[in-house]
Amino acid sequence: MASRRKTIAMSPAAVLKRLQDGNARYAANQPNEKDFSAGRAARATAQYPVAAILSCADSRVVPDLVFDQESGDLFVVRVAGNIVTTDLLASIEYGVEFLGALLIVVLGHSSCGAVDAAIKVMKEDAQLPGHLPDLIRAIKPAVVTAEKNPSGTLLDNAIVENVRRQVAALKRASPIIGRDYASNKIDIVGGVYDIATGKVTLI
């Protein structure tokens, strides 16, 4: 029950600081020592994650490692391109409403294949199989906005813009997430994980 009290006492800002500190440890290759058996029995009865993470499915992006958190700390939902869909929104709502997560982080990353695919579809008229076009459709608006940015690369700019758009979508998502954000009960931030350095830059 200690973790429950700790969660209630924390603020969204304190949770963000905790994740940033964890990312600094991870990027410096000095993660906290973890005992995966300790606390397992205690966690069997309930979970009290401090944050919900909407991450890309990319195999090189592992939020629990990236933020150097323990089992039970992060409620992670993942989808290629870290886009807000109904199912993912419902999962995040569960993490916030029922599990008490105080912070939502939309986590994009460098060299994102989903964003790159959206660019190729738009620029080179590439054709994608299966259900991939549905996924790409949700990322396209970010590419359109990124194209107006004269500096940097289109891919990097579209990755940032896509995170911004998903953060904005969550902030106005009714009926739960938008309400809790407006009342300052939770905070919603975006970040881009650099695969090469391990660092998360908030945007």
Q: Return phi, psi of residue 169, to 5°.
A: -65, -40
Closer residue to Zn ion in complex, CB, 169/192: 192
Angle at 151 between CA 144 and CA 162, to 5 degrees: 35
Binding site for Zn ion (CB under 5 A): 56, 58, 112, 114
Neighbouring residues of 27: CB distance < 8 A, sequence distance ≥ 6: 197, 198, 199
Closer residue to Zn ion in complex, CB, 52/117: 117
- In 3D space, the residue among 64, 80, 75, 179 whose CA is nearest the CA of residue 137 turns out to be 80
Q: Minimum distance between the CB of residue 109 and Zn ion, rounded to whole angstroms?
A: 6
Q: Minimum distance between the CB of residue 96 and Zn ion, rounded to whole angstroms?
A: 24
Q: Minimum distance between the CB of residue 184 and Zn ion, rounded to whole angstroms?
A: 30
Q: Return phi, psi of residue 91, to 5°.
A: -65, -45
Closer residue to Zn ion in complex, CB, 43/78: 78
Q: Minimum distance between the CB of residue 58 and Zn ion, rounded to whole angstroms?
A: 4
Give the C-alpha separation, 102 to 7, whole Å. 8
Closer residue to Zn ion in complex, CB, 50/139: 139
